[in-house]
């Protein structure tokens, strides 16, 4: 049970954490901090938080758990604003979708107190945003990746894991580097590819004709290209190195397939397509089996 939980950014991610933790009986008092007072007041009306705070120093006084759920680019500023006032037993964690940059920002802002920061990434979301979108069961059966630092005490890592488990999540552990490489591959690269395709088509003189014939396959393939440009710009820059590695590998792969097409090499094309189809089907079957188990 946490006596005082402080959440920076009470939108979908922070608000859902608040609801889930309270439902599990793990939070006595929850304080919301943020840049928009309107949004914080709304979060209080909705019962996500008990108190609204605008002064980070006062907010973290006596807090035992602090979650950063604001845009990742604010990490260093927020941590620098609370560093001098942190209780030595307080644990700080985050919900950012990149980890290398967050850890670097935390090291700068926290210095010798870096051990109090346990980085994490909940793999959950929905299309709606803001406090109204928060759900007590958003994390039910979802993965949370904890990317513990060498400086973290084992019991602090376990405390963060237990908080997320109380929200219904399943804990995974990776190093920050492993985390960023994995998500560059299965999330950030697909986003770049989908944005690239839609922009490529939109820039053509006969784009209207082209879009007119786009059907359900195009709809699914490009759904992620409807994501926030600002957020994905930040993720792209934050995970630049790992993403470049993935983009370069993909360019090599696509160039090879281009040559198969140019050479009308049917057997080679069929082999690539079949390997992809088989891997996709195995993946979908494993996901469905896991969902049945968790559901």
Q: Write out the binding residues for its own copies, residues 171-190 only, by CB under 8 A.
A: 172, 182-183, 185-187, 189-190
Q: Which of 280, 192, 281, 288 is nearest to 243 (CA)?
A: 192
Residue owning tokens 């993946």 = 283
Q: Which is nearer to its own copies, 108 or 204 (CB)?
A: 204
Instruction: Considering the complex, state which of residue 128 and residue 253 has its C-beta at the smaller distance from its own copies.
Output: 253
Relative to beta strand 143-146, strand 170-173 is: parallel
Q: Using the rule CB under 8 A, is 284 a contact of its own copies?
A: yes
Binding to its own copies, residues 103-132 (CB under 8 A): 123
Residue 214, C-beta contacts closer than 8 angstroms, at least 6 positions apart = none
Rule CB under 8 A: choose which of 38, 112, 154, 215 binds its own copies.
215
Q: Collapsing DSSP states into helix, strand and coil, what is residue 114?
A: helix
Q: Work out the end-to-end distance of the chain between its first and last CA atoms, rounded to an integer number of angstroms.
A: 26
Which span sits near its own copies by CB under 8 A: 34-42, 55-63, 99-107, 225-233?
A: 225-233
CB of 127 to its own copies, least distance (A): 10
CB of 270 to its own copies, least distance (A): 4
3-state secondary structure 42-62: HHHHCCCCCEEECCHHHHHCC
108 or 126, CB closer to its own copies? 126
Could you tell me the smallest distance in angstroms from the CB atom of residue 244 to its own copies? Answer: 6
């Amino acid at each position: 049970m946490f006596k005082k939980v402080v959440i920076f950014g009470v939108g979908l991610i922070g608000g859902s954490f608040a609801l889930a933790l309270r439902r599990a009986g793990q939070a006595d008092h929850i304080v919301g901090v943020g840049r928009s007072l309107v949004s914080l007041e709304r979060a209080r009306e909705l019962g996500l938080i008990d108190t609204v705070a605008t002064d980070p120093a006062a907010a973290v006084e006596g807090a035992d758990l602090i979650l950063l759920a604001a845009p990742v680019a604010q990490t260093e500023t927020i941590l620098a604003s609370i560093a001098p006032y942190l209780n030595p037993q307080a644990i700080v964690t985050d919900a950012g979708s990149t980890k290398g940059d967050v850890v670097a920002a935390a090291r700068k802002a926290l210095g010798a107190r870096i051990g109090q920061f346990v980085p994490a990434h909940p793999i959950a979301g929905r299309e709606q945003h803001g406090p109204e979108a928060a759900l007590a069961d958003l994390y039910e059966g979802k993965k949370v990746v904890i990317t513990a630092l060498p400086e973290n005490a084992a019991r602090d890592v376990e405390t963060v894991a237990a908080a997320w488990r109380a929200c219904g999540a399943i804990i995974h552990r990776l190093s920050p580097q492993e985390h960023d490489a994995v998500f560059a591959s299965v999330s950030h690269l697909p986003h770049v590819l989908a944005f690239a395709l839609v922009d490529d088509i939109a820039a053509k003189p006969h784009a209207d004709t082209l879009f007119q014939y786009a059907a359900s396959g195009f709809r699914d393939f490009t759904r992620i290209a409807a994501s926030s440009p600002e957020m994905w710009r930040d993720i792209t820059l934050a995970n630049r190195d790992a993403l470049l590695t993935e983009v370069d590998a993909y360019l090599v792969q696509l160039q090879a397939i281009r040559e198969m097409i140019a050479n009308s090499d049917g057997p080679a094309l069929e082999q690539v397509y079949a390997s992809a189809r088989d891997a996709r089907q195995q993946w979908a079957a494993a996901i469905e089996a896991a969902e049945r188990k968790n559901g």
